[in-house]
Amino acid sequence: MKNTIAERVVDFLKNHPPFSMLNNENLFTIAQNVEILYFEAETYIFKKGQKVADTFYVVKDGAVGVYADDGKTLVDKCDEGDIFGLRALIRKDFYQLDAIAMEESIVYGVGAAFLETILENNEDAQNFVLTSFATYGYEVQASLDAANRVNMAEDITHDALMAKYSKNPVTCLASHSVQHAAQLMTENRVGSIVVTFQNMPIGIITDKDLRSKIATGKYTILEKVDKIMSSPVICFHEQITVAEAQVKMLNHGISHICITTDGTSQTQLIGVLSEHDIIVIHGNNPAALIKETCRANQVEQLAFIRTKITNLLADYLKQGLSMNYITQIISEMNDSICKRAIVLSLKEMETPPPVSFAWIALGSMGRGEQLLPTDQDNALIFENVSDDIYDKTKAYFVNLAQKVSKKLLAVGFEYCPAEMMASNSKWCLSLEQWRQQFEYWIKTPTPDNVMLCTIFFDYNLVFGNPQLVSSLTQHINFIVSGFDTFLQFLAKNAVQNPPPLGFFRNFLLEAEGGHKNQFDIKARALMPLTDAARLLSLANKIHGLRGTILRYKKLAEIEPQNAAIYNSCASAFKTLLRFRAQYGLNNQMHGRYIDLQKLSKSDKLKLRSAFSPIKEIQSLIEVRYMLARLI
């Protein structure tokens, strides 16, 4: 007999990280043992000082507030899909904060044993949880520090964290019906609507008003909005800080502030700041950013979120977090941006997809190593169809891909100069066509075909049917395993870029073009390490590992006699990747081309130290594949 309750729990959890990173078997095991809890508004889930339960919690419906100072200071607001109680569970001591249902809420309780399943058996989920844990701790402390500064009546200067508010508030008139206002809120996917007169705020309606005043039957949906709106509204000028906004909301028991020209209700409305906005601003929490991405309905919102991701990257680099953690988290968020662009594009199509499809990321994004927005590298696989409808089916997906690519461009991902994108009909193919394409490349290893393999071999499912990707992967592995000559050509390609130092240990710089006399860290340092890791992973039948660092770690396990070389390559790659990201952030660009004149002597030494493993790994490849015979 089917466990329908567990299936519903799985359907919910699979849409929210870190559960979205688990396989169906682990998800179903967790779902079967979830405790479903109901809390009325203002009910405690746990209290400060209480011994930690052997459980952490996931909000299914409603909202839960995490408070400090005996419920006076809101530290975090958790709604659908958010996890809370995790930090205390990992510490295994006493709760240091209060968790209170802010409204009627359904919460899933997940046992600690299943947390261990998440952390031990899935590295992606582990990194997400650990990084969110670290960030959340920083966020809580920042929140408490801000509240304490206000309580101590210290001055809030212009250096304080400024609140970012919605500049396109949804509005209606007092003469409109509640039904009309609710429709506007639903269409715009917002939790509030401002009632205005001559564009000045006179009232506000929130989701809470609709639940407490309409759903209870106190008023009908045909009433005018002035019957249920909260008035007068609390206003503030646009220079409001996070701390000021938080204190204002706490003092007035509200969740929304109207932003006006002079901070009073007698001037023009220019925005709305919500409690949710404060939580998102308060710390670049990856879970919050992913959730915000899933709710975005305009490409401008995605572009703004991508800016936040860049700020998060800067914070992580400043904190000195592991590059493995950083790449995992940033790539997860990049994928979420792409997923949302696909979802929004599907909504623009006149009909649903004729067959299932899979959107795959290629190159650095496929490996999960694209930290700063560079160019797009992607492709699309669609389900096999009969010849008579192939062209029509392909045209549908090319059209879809063009819409997605335009959105990604608006977000900050430039078009690929070589047009290696799903919007190019060459890279939008059925599963069978992709099988034939890879088979041709592998069995006809010309320099161009090998070059295409180095790009297309590093692919990762972003959206769609995973079975299509799995089937293609199995076919590629089968062809490669039966054609050893291909690996020799791949090896030759992997050593074509020598270590990036000249005879006198000078950096090898670009000799011509727009980047003349600059150092190409991608082509001369990162790519040789990436190409070597890809080749050796294929040769050792290492499949399913996303990223150069993880590949070298696995190679070190398989070949302990060469572990020192592989570990030094992994270390060098981390150094180079961090260096490129930091240089790109400092100079507001992608970080590929480096002006050595801008580097300190110390920075140059750091770069040079990362070059030695390139020579070692290339020497290993030359000997193993007897490349001297191919010259």
Q: What digits encode the pLDDT tens for the residues 73-130?
A: 777 778 788 888 876 665 566 787 889 998 889 999 988 777 666 656 666 666 565 5
Token pair listed for 229: 């709106």
CA distance 454 to 130: 32
Residue 584 has pLDDT above 80, yes or no: yes
What string of DSSP letters covers 271-328? EEEEHHHHHHHTS--HHHHHHHHHH--SHHHHHHHHHHHHHHHHHHHHHT--HHHHHH
Q: Which amino acid is at 273?
A: L
Q: Which residue has the tokens 């209170």?
A: 100
CA distance 445 to 434: 16
Q: Which residue has the tokens 């608006």?
A: 410
The predicted pLDDT at position 156 comes to 28
Token pair listed for 297: 């309905």
Q: What digits encode the pLDDT tens for the residues 6-32?
A: 888 888 888 777 787 787 888 888 888
> What is the bridge-based pairing of β-strands 378-382 and 428-430?
parallel
Q: What digits encode the pLDDT tens for the residues 335-361?
A: 999 999 999 999 999 999 999 999 999
CA distance 464 to 358: 4
Backbone angles phi, psi at 360, to 5 degrees: -120, 140
The predicted pLDDT at position 160 comes to 38
CA distance 365 to 66: 36
Find all residues with CB under 8 Å of 286, minimum gap 6, and list them. 17, 128, 131, 132, 135, 312, 329, 332, 333
Range with the lowest mean pLDDT among 57-71, 293-307, 388-402? 57-71
Q: Which residue has the tokens 């609710």?
A: 182
Higher pLDDT, 500 or 230: 230
Q: Stretch 272-279: mean pLDDT, rounded? A: 77
| Percent of all residues in the chain with a pLDDT value above 70, rounded to a whole number | 86
Q: Are 84 and 64 in contact (CB under 8 A)?
A: yes
Q: Which residues pair with 271 in a beta bridge?
A: 259
Considering only the C-alpha atoms of the chain, give the largest distance between any 2 of them, rounded to a whole number of Å. Answer: 87
Residue 142 has pLDDT above 70, yes or no: no
Q: Which residues pair with 70 in a beta bridge?
A: none
Give the residue from 536, 553, 549, 517 showing the smallest Cα distance to 618: 536
